Every structure is written in structure tokens, then in C-alpha cells.
Amino acid sequence: MSTRDDISAGEPMPARQGYMLATLVLVASLSLVVIYAMGAGNRERALAEARLAVEAEQVVAGLRQQLLTYELITRGGVSLLAAVDRPSPRQWRNYAEGLDLPRRFPAMLGLCYAAAMSPAQLQDFQLEQRQATRLLFRVDPPGARAEYGPIVLLEPQVVATADAVGFDMLTEPVQAAAMSAARASASARITAPMPAVQQGAGPGLVIYAPVYRSGIVPANASARTAALAGWVCAPFRLDLFVANALPEGREGFSMRIVDIGEADGPTVEATEAELPVFPVDGAAPAAGTVEGASHSVVEEVYGRRWRLDFHQDPGPDDDAGLLGPTGTIYVGMLASLLLFALAMILARTQSRAQQIAVRMSESYRRSEQRFRAAMRFSAIGKALLDRDGRIIDSNLALANILRASPEELLGRDFEGLFTGFDSAAETRAREATGSAYRVTRELRREDGDLRHVHLTYAQVPGEEGQGIASLVQVEDISDRLRAEARVLALNRTLEARVVLRTRELTRANEELESFAYTISHDLRAPLRAIDGFSRMVVDRHGDAFDETGRAYIARVRAATARMGELIDALLKMSRVSRGELKREPLDLSAMADDLVAELRQAEPGREVDVRIEPGLHASGDSALVRNLLGNLLANAWKFTRDATGARIGFHRVSEGGHDWFEIADNGVGFDQAYANKLFRPFQRLHAADAFSGEGIGLASVKRIIERHGGTITGAGVPGQGARFRFTLPDDPG
């Protein structure tokens, strides 16, 4: 038997032939070693430079990723500024704290916003800051300029950056150039390397992203200059920036960054002790020396051009190439032994392959049995179709749906069993879903029963020479469709009932308002008659009555006056419900100031500490909202009459994830157990002789709030005051 037959049968290779093969491999290996040793030095240098180039690309990719992250951070700040006119320091602080800059981005010194201002805008901003914080916003360096770019927001604020707020970045030529480039290009731009971006921090860079008013970027440069609101800036240290991208644990690896946008910039050196620095003014290595590998990359970085110079010092064993001659001989001998072992392994592999083929055949047979059993006993109808759409095999569930035996279905055209074929819809379904798609058909049984079925087609492969093309599942969905039809009919009935009830409720509300308005007008005539005749009795026949009679007549007149006030209150309630709602932006702080001034003018002798938070804005009907605030502030004014050190506050509070407007006082308060009566018409929680009023103020307030789509709540403690919280959403609801 030949050697090849021995190997294919899995028998061991003869020892002599193995030795001869090993000797041949050894000779060939030695020849290769000699050839390899002749060019080992050049190959080693080329390999070292190739490795350095790969590592340099990884470092450059890391630097790009860091710069992209810094740009995304500034873009997030731009999005925040586009969402609001100017974020508050607290909003800016929350955004910066959410980024966790000191831990996640140690190279970044902070996140700031420099506003683009003209002298007039700067003066207005200083006045706003003076009113809001009672501190003067100072620009550094001072002086008159045509354009300012002071830092107005900065986080985090530490000792080293405490004096940065107010610094005019446009006064620094390097920063001004980057800011102008960002404004003109409407994209992020970076500065040339600067000697120090922070005291004691060393060289650094600043990346700027322009912010345009309303968040819309104009098409041309002149329009961008006019629409510019400012810049989001992110200063960072070059040493930490580079250290994050350099590989750890590499001895002799170093790099430097040279800005070549306009002239050579400063060299940035790695700060870790195990990474020696490539000399800043080092010349190119002399030919033939073993000074290591060098590589340079030129990158376009946000409007600047950087040259990144990489250097790798030689290792302790690099002077001998990858392997010395002795090591190469050992490798050749080892390769010979490995090739001999490989020949034996190949023979054994063939034997194992035959065994695996037998096991796979058995596994395939069992898999086929499982597939047949799953198809035969499935509760869903299934059929295998050939390429012409004829049934090759089917299960009992399909036979039950079609009222035929599996034998009768063999060879029948599957499509011909159903109606309702829509070729266009089926083509769209097949294109949308690929190899598997679903369609719905109709099935007319022999007894006349119409059924709806859901067909699911899936492409399946067949054996060699077989025509199996697809597997189709058939589900009878007739009962489900009937149930859905009944549900839809019930929904239509419910919708009609809802419309009818809504119409009836609307009509009832209109009739109720008309009734209240009519009654309030018709009652005035009898009241005027009662009041007039009572006055005439007193004027003409007052002497005929004693004190008791005159007191009775006075009480009659007081009752008619009280009823007149109640009629007026009823008319006010009716007007609140009938008037057209006209929404507009409102300054609630200014409106409250006017109302408090009116209350002070009406009672100049009272001393009440009224504190109104500035900058409270909302959207609503001006007249109705003024009525709302007037009622709440008048109640607070009235019920603090007997309080020592009367206080009234109007401010915004956050609770439960919502913002509320709150009016609070330290007056007589009320029992919280009767809070459900607060907003009912003509309901009073205090005696009429103690505090005057008709009892409809809070009812009107509730109606106004509900017309605006908001809510109102009241809380109080007897003797400790009361507070009312309400919302005025922008969407009327």
C-alpha cells in the first residue's frame, strides 16, 4: 500500500519517511534562515515603523475621539441655549454636573458660555445682573470696544477659575481668531495651542461652538454675524489630553504636537515618567544608527492643521533583529518537527472526519423526523409546496380546515383552493418582508360556509433533486374577524352615545348660564322696588315707627343691598364662563405689583410685607388672569388684617415634578377639614361680620384656572395663614 493510502486509512506514517521529511524540512528551514538573516535588519526597521504607524493611527484616533466628545459636550450646551433665551446659572450648573467633567473628562477645565454683545447689549446685561443679583457684572479687561465676548456662565467654578467669569475672550488674539472662524463657518473651531489656559495648568486649547438666536443657522456669513448669540467654549489641558490617548506601559514611546496652521506651535510632551519625550528640536536620525522608528501624521483639526510626530526608542534586543541566527535555526528545527506532526494529524483528521460525517447523517435524519412530527401534529395547518405551487405534503390541521384528507390534497394547486387573490397586495407584502410574507384569503367550503384564512409563506430549501420551494401555514381567522367586527360595532355605538351625551351636557350648561344671567337681571326690579318703598316709608312715615320698627326697615334695606351684591356676583360668575379666551404672554410679576399697589392705595395705613418673585411669566387671557390674581391677593390682604407682621408672598415652587405659582400669607388661615368648600360659590369659612365678601372670589378663580387648563389647590392652618397653588399651562388643554 502507498504512503498516501496509509495516511488516508489513518495508519501511522513509517519512521524512515518521517525522518526524511524532517531532514528535508530542516534543510529548507536553514536555507530560509540564511535568506532571512541577510535582510533581517531592513525588515526589522520596516516592521518597527509599520508598528509605530499602526500605534500612531490608534493614538490619532484616540485624540479625534476625545475632540469629538468635547465637541458633543459643547453642542449639548448649544442645544440648551437654543431651548431657552439664556439659561440660568443653576441650569448651566445642572448640565455641567450631569456630565461629571472632573471624573470623566479630567483634561477639560470647565464648560463656559461667552455671550456676543455690543456695548448697548452689555450695558443692558449688566443692568439685568444688577437687578437679579445686586452685584455689578464686570468685564475684564475693561475699556470701550466695538464688540465684547465676556464669559457669563462657567462650570465648575473652582479657585483657579473664580476670576474667569467676565473675562472678554475676544481680547485674546488666538481665541478671537478661533471665535471668528466658528462664527463664520457655523461649526466648532479650536484655537492654536496657548501657553496656559489656566494658572498652573500648562499649555492648552479651547474649542468653540457658535450659538445662534432661535437655534437657526443663517445661510450666509453676514447673517450669521447678526444672528450670533455667543459661543459655548471648552478649555482643556494639552498634557492630560495627550496622556489619555498614549498607550500605557510602552517604554520609549513619545509624541509631540506641532500646530502648522500659520506657524509652528508649541511642543506637547507626555507627562508620564515611563514615556520619554521626543526632543523638541531633535534632528532626523542619522542613517545606519539604531535610534528607533519615527512617524509623522498631518491632521485637519477643527480649522487647524496639526503635525503629530511619533518616536519609538529601540528596545534592548532590537539590535539583533526579530531573532538572532541561533534562534532562527531553532525555529527551523521546530518547524520541521511541527510539519512531521502535522502529517500524522492529517491522517487522523481524515478518520475523525469520516466519523463526524456518520454522526451528522444520523443527526440530519433525526432533525428530519422532528420536522415531520412538528408539521404533522401541529394545530396550525401547514403544507409544503413545490416551485409550481402544488402541495407536496400537508398535515391533519390543514385537511380539517379544507374538509379533505391529506391524500386528496397531494398534487393540488394550493392557490386554487382560495379566493380573494390580490396580486398587487401580495407583491407589496413579499417585497416588504423578504422571504417570509403574510396574506389573507377567503375559503368557500363545499357546504357554502365562507371562511377567512391567514396564509404565511416562508421560503425553505429542499434536498438535491427535490422541488420543495416554500412552507405555508394556514390559520382560520373567521371567528376572530367576527369578534373584531362586533367590537367595532360596539365602539361606534359608544361613540354615538358619547357625542349625544356631550351635546346634551353642552346644551344644559348653556341653558344654566342663560338661566343664571336672566334670573340675576329679572331680580333687580323687585329689589329696587323693595329698597325704594322702604326708603320712602322711612322718609315719609319714619316718625310713626318706634326704634324697633325703624330697625326692622333698616334690616330690610340691608338685606336687599346684600341680595343686590349677590346678584352682581352671580353676573360676574356668568361672565367668567361665557367670555372668549384670548391667550397672550403675561408678566405675572408686573401684574401682581400693580394689584398690590392698588391695595396699598385703598388702605394706606396698613403695613404689609409683600414679596413678589421677579420674572414670573405665563400664557393666558390678560383680563381673566388679572381677575384671578386680584382675588387671591385681595383675600391674602384681607385675611392678614389682624396679623402681627403681616406677610404676603407670590413666587414659583417645584413639587412632584411640576412647577406651581404660589400665593401665601400668615393671616387667619382656615381649617383644612373644610377645604372642599373653598371653591364653591357663596360658601364662606369665616363669619360675614368678621370679614366682608360675597363668597364667589375663589369660585371665580377656580373657573378661570380650569378654563386655562390648569389646577388650583388650597391649604391652611387656623391662625398660621393659608397658601394657594395654581398652574397656567401654555397648552389650553
Residue 122 has pLDDT above 50, yes or no: yes
Q: What's the pLDDT at 327?
A: 61
Is 387 found in the same domain as 469? Answer: yes
Mean per-residue pLDDT for 333-351?
A: 62
H/E element, 653: strand 647-655
In this structure, of 3-7, 309-313, 409-413, the range with the lowest mean pLDDT score is 3-7
Residue 560 has pLDDT above 50, yes or no: yes
- Of all residues in the chain, what percent carry a pLDDT higher than 70? 72
Mean per-residue pLDDT for 696-706?
A: 79
The domain that holds 389 is classified in CATH as 3.30.450.20
Residue 136 within any structural domain of the chain:
yes
In this structure, of 262-266, 285-289, 313-317, 542-546, the range with the lowest mean pLDDT score is 285-289
Residue 481 within any structural domain of the chain:
no
Is 215 found in the same domain as 106? Answer: yes
Domain edge (last residue) among 573, 604, 636? 573
Residue 614 has pLDDT above 90, yes or no: yes
Residue, of 365 and 175, whose pLDDT is higher: 175
In this structure, of 287-291, 339-343, 478-482, 510-514, the range with the lowest mean pLDDT score is 287-291
Is 241 found in the same domain as 92? Answer: yes
Is 120 found in the same domain as 33? Answer: no
- Output phi, psi for 608, to 5 deg: -130, 130
Q: What's the pLDDT at 659?
A: 86
Residue 297 has pLDDT above 50, yes or no: yes
CB 666 within 8 A of CB 721: yes
Residue 490 within any structural domain of the chain:
no
Is 104 found in the same domain as 66? Answer: yes
Query: Tens digits of per-residue pLDDT, 346-392?
Result: 545 655 776 787 788 888 778 777 777 777 777 788 888 887 788 88
The domain that holds 603 is classified in CATH as 3.30.565.10
Q: What's the pLDDT at 351?
A: 55
Residue 496 within any structural domain of the chain:
no
The domain that holds 225 is classified in CATH as 3.30.450.350
- Of all residues in the chain, what percent carry a pLDDT higher than 90? 7
Distance of CA 460 to the CA centre of its chain: 43
Is 601 found in the same domain as 554? Answer: no
Domain edge (last residue) among 476, 492, 514? 476
Mean per-residue pLDDT for 393-409?
A: 81
CB 538 within 8 A of CB 553: yes
Query: Tens digits of per-residue pLDDT, 569-592?
Result: 666 666 565 566 778 899 999 999
DSSP 313: -
As a residue count, the chain comes to 733
Residue, of 289 and 171, whose pLDDT is higher: 171
Residue 339 within any structural domain of the chain:
yes
Q: How many domains does the chain have?
A: 5
Is 278 found in the same domain as 344? Answer: no
Residue 288 has pLDDT above 50, yes or no: no
Domain edge (last residue) among 522, 539, 573? 573
pTM of the complete model: 0.41
The three-state DSSP-derived secondary structure of 1-39 is: CCHHHHHHCCCCCCHHHHHHHHHHHHHHHHHHHHHHHHC
Q: What's the pLDDT at 280?
A: 33
Is 510 found in the same domain as 466? Answer: no
Residue 420 has pLDDT above 80, yes or no: no
Is 384 found in the same domain as 340? Answer: no
Q: What's the pLDDT at 329?
A: 56
Check whether the bond before 102 is cis (ω within 30° of 0).
no
Residue 688 has pLDDT above 60, yes or no: no
Q: What's the pLDDT at 207?
A: 93
Mean per-residue pLDDT for 500-520?
A: 71
In this structure, of 11-15, 79-83, 622-626, the range with the lowest mean pLDDT score is 11-15
Q: What's the pLDDT at 651?
A: 92
Q: Which domain holds residue 596?
A: 582-726
Residue whose C-alpha cell reads 360659590 in the numeric block: 681
Q: What's the pLDDT at 159?
A: 67
Is 57 found in the same domain as 25? Answer: no
Is 346 found in the same domain as 280? Answer: no
Residue 370 within any structural domain of the chain:
no
Residue 532 within any structural domain of the chain:
yes
CB 331 within 8 A of CB 29: yes
Residue 67 has pLDDT above 60, yes or no: yes
CB 178 within 8 A of CB 118: no
Q: What's the pLDDT at 427?
A: 67
Residue 251 has pLDDT above 80, yes or no: no
Q: What's the pLDDT at 664?
A: 92
Residue, of 74 and 313, whose pLDDT is higher: 74
CB 343 within 8 A of CB 24: no
Residue 486 within any structural domain of the chain:
no
Is 536 found in the same domain as 419? Answer: no
